[in-house]
Amino acid sequence: MVIMKTKVEFKSMGMFFSCMGFTALSHKDPIGRSGGIWMLWNPNVVNVKVVEASSQQITATISRQEFPDWLLSAVYASPNSAKRDDLWAQLETIAQYMEEP
């Protein structure tokens, strides 16, 4: 599960998601009330290996038994063009080294 524009820190909601079975996560909390990306998963169902994480994106390799691995990038781009340029540079670097779809 990916949630964006959270506006709150993960610690305020962590127990809620844990009770739902999402016991593994990668998150970037918002700065003030701006942004925020949470990637949560149930490790009994899927394996997730975070490749890169920043305030604008979390990229992870998703693995599940009997299915091919694939790459997921959850992106919440900044309205600031300079910060978006940083995001594009990060994504281009990730793309150079990825082998998964």
Query: Residue 43's domain spans which residues?
Result: 2-97
pLDDT, residue 48, reads 94
> How many distinct structural domains can be found in the chain?
1
CA 48 – CA 39 distance, rounded (Å): 10
pLDDT, residue 88, reads 94
pLDDT, residue 98, reads 85
Block mean pLDDT (10 aa), the chain, length 101 = 83 82 82 82 92 91 93 90 92 89 83
